Amino acid sequence: MESNKQEKSMSIVMLPYLAHGHVSPFYELAKRLSIKGFHIYFCSTPICLEPIRNINHFDHDHMNIHLIDLQLPSSFHQELPPHYHSTTNLPPHLVKTLLAAFDASKPAFSDILKTLRPELVIYDVFQPWAVEAARELNIEAVLFSTSVQSQRIKYDVTYLIESNKELMEYLLENSVNGLTPIQRFFQCVTSSSGHVVLVKSSTEIQAKFGKPADVFGDLVPVGPLVQRPQDHDGDEKIMDWLNKKEASSVVFVSFGSESFLSQEEIEEMAHGLELSNVDFIWVVRFHGGHNNVKTIHEALPQGFLDRIQIQGKGLILDWAPQAKILAHTSSGGFVSHCGWNSTLEGMMYGVPIIAIPQGGDQPLNATLAVDMGVAIEVPARGEKKITRQEVAKAIKTVVVEEQGKEVRRRAKELSENWKKKEDEEFHVAVEKLLQLVQQSKN
């Protein structure tokens, strides 16, 4: 097969769901495909594309990626203004409205496809209408699954029901336009061209699940697709602080862009970090300004900021370059909500995880990380709340104490293995896509 010739001539439209946890891995996949010579049309709402447009040197580094604005129908704008065309900071009562508006954007998406005439569409798990739009124009369409949750459904629905009833209730009961999330998912899986489903995963993770049912076709790992460390304005202070710390001595604390601790949990986390006596960087976020807490000073225990500043023990930030911090030699632990992107970043950079899952697929991700030997979990599921003692104990175990030696060793080992196999796994995925499109042409 003349791969180079085919790669250079092949164009792809990519359509992620309107959430940062979906847009980010889709964009990482777009970057890897663009390096291979594919022409990528990355399609989403303007608010979802805004962070990508703000990336330094975008035009120079990724000339094969073109950003395409998808406008949600104006009939939704009164209830759902453009700054809510993303799940980030979206009020909970508007979640279903956003999905309904996304569904209603099929005509606009079809117009984009008619104009661009790509050879392939890569779509997400919540929009079966994207496959319909592609098929109506005789364009192949392949599903890209960005979470381990959807991969686990492929193997064992019973496991999900028993391990995370709250998640399964959401997947089975929250209907929009007559479709529950689980129905959307299965429609997207079974409609994927050639029964090929790309998964943000590795062969090592896939091996943990065993063989999927035949209905799910060919699951093709594209690798972890973690962000590469990038320079941002204001990084110097953080990097200077890290550079002064010993190797593997700092714990990084972040709960992602859409998970937020309560006031009580913030206080317990603060005391836990102090009790651990481990240096830390903590990203403290509040939900879209709706939280009653107005400032970090009001959220944190009295005197906490003064104490850590005097001692030089920690940095409190409202945003941080996560990949850059995790890749730093001083990082020795990652307190995480275990969103799938964050979990894979911790694994890829060899930083053992202190798991405190909040909801959704995060408990499943935490369990997987523990099973793979690269994490320990703070007991805080269900009715059990985060306590300072458990936080301090977990951090000290992972970063300092002898009993955490095996977790630290396994994290480094997994990271080295993944880095060796990353290009090979991605090459296999690329060949699958080329074969699929070529067969369609023939």
How many C-beta neighbours within 10 Å does residue 118 have? Answer: 24
Strand partners, 321: none
At which of 203, 225, 247 does a domain end? 225
380 band by pLDDT with thresholds 50, 70 and 90: confident
Residue 325: partners with Cβ closer than 8 Å, 6 or more residues away: 238, 242, 252, 281, 331
> What percent of the chain shows pLDDT beyond 70?
86
At which of 168, 197, 225 does a domain end? 225
pLDDT value for 156? 45
Domain assignment present for residue 428? The answer is: no
3 band by pLDDT with thresholds 50, 70 and 90: very low
Assign 327 to helix, strand or coil.
Answer: coil
Same structural domain for residues 303 and 395? yes
In this structure, are residues 89 and 287 in contact, taking their beta carbons and an 8 Å threshold?
A: yes
pLDDT value for 149? 52
- Per-residue pLDDT averaged across 426-438, rounded? 92
Span of 6-15, 61-70, 116-125, 286-295 with lowest mean pLDDT: 286-295
Same structural domain for residues 268 and 330? yes
pLDDT value for 181? 85
Same structural domain for residues 276 and 173? no
Domain assignment present for residue 431? The answer is: no
289 band by pLDDT with thresholds 50, 70 and 90: very low
Which of 164, 145, 250, 204 is CA-nearest to residue 373?
204
Residue 431 has pLDDT above 90, yes or no: yes
Domain assignment present for residue 427? The answer is: no
Span of 168-172, 359-363, 402-406 with lowest mean pLDDT: 168-172
Active site residue 61: no
Strand order in the sheet with 140-145: 65-69, 39-44, 11-15, 120-123, 140-145, 196-199, 218-221
186 band by pLDDT with thresholds 50, 70 and 90: confident
Give the separation between CA 275 and CA 438, rounded to whole angstroms.
60
At which of 204, 225, 246 does a domain end? 225
DSSP 236-261: HHHHHHHHTSPTT-EEEEE-TTT---
Same structural domain for residues 326 and 248? yes
350 band by pLDDT with thresholds 50, 70 and 90: very high
Assign 275 to helix, strand or coil.
Answer: helix
Number of domains in the chain: 2
pLDDT value for 61? 56
pLDDT value for 59? 47
**With b meaning 16 or more CB within 10 Å and e meaning fewer, what string describes 60-78?**
eebebbbbbebebbeebee
Active site residue 287: no
Domain assignment present for residue 133? The answer is: yes
pLDDT value for 154? 45
pLDDT value for 13? 98
Give the separation between CA 242 and CA 359, rounded to whole angstroms.
31
Same structural domain for residues 331 and 393? yes
pLDDT value for 250? 96
User: pLDDT higher for 255 or 258?
Assistant: 255
439 band by pLDDT with thresholds 50, 70 and 90: confident
Same structural domain for residues 213 and 268? no
How many C-beta neighbours within 10 Å does residue 277 have? Answer: 12
Domain assignment present for residue 20? The answer is: yes
292 band by pLDDT with thresholds 50, 70 and 90: very low
Assign 395 to helix, strand or coil.
Answer: helix
Span of 46-55, 73-82, 210-219 with lowest mean pLDDT: 210-219
Span of 21-25, 58-62, 89-93, 313-317 with lowest mean pLDDT: 58-62
Span of 44-58, 85-99, 286-300, 373-387 with lowest mean pLDDT: 286-300
Domain that holds residue 388: 235-416
- Per-residue pLDDT averaged across 298-307, rounded? 87
User: Of the listed 22, 39, 271, 337, which one is catalytic?
Assistant: 22
2 band by pLDDT with thresholds 50, 70 and 90: very low
Span of 11-15, 232-236, 403-407 with lowest mean pLDDT: 232-236
- Per-residue pLDDT averaged across 164-190, rounded? 78
User: Of the listed 39, 62, 103, 124, which one is catalytic?
Assistant: 124
Give the separation between CA 278 and CA 272, rounded to whole angstroms.
10
Domain assignment present for residue 347? The answer is: yes
CATH number of the domain to which 144 belongs: 3.40.50.2000
Same structural domain for residues 360 and 379? yes
Q: Could you identify the residue written with the tokens 């972890």?
A: 224
pLDDT, mean over the chain: 86
216 band by pLDDT with thresholds 50, 70 and 90: low
Domain assignment present for residue 432? The answer is: no
Q: What is the pTM of this model?
A: 0.83
Domain assignment present for residue 439? The answer is: no
Same structural domain for residues 88 and 188? yes
> What percent of the chain shows pLDDT beyond 90?
55
Same structural domain for residues 88 and 202? yes
User: pLDDT higher for 9 or 227?
Assistant: 227
Span of 68-77, 152-161, 379-388 with lowest mean pLDDT: 152-161
Same structural domain for residues 55 and 201? yes
- Per-residue pLDDT averaged across 356-362, rounded? 83
Same structural domain for residues 197 and 256? no
pLDDT value for 256? 80
Same structural domain for residues 373 and 279? yes
pLDDT digits (tens, 9 = 90+) for 191-203: 999 889 999 988 8
Residue 424, both tokens: 């090979």
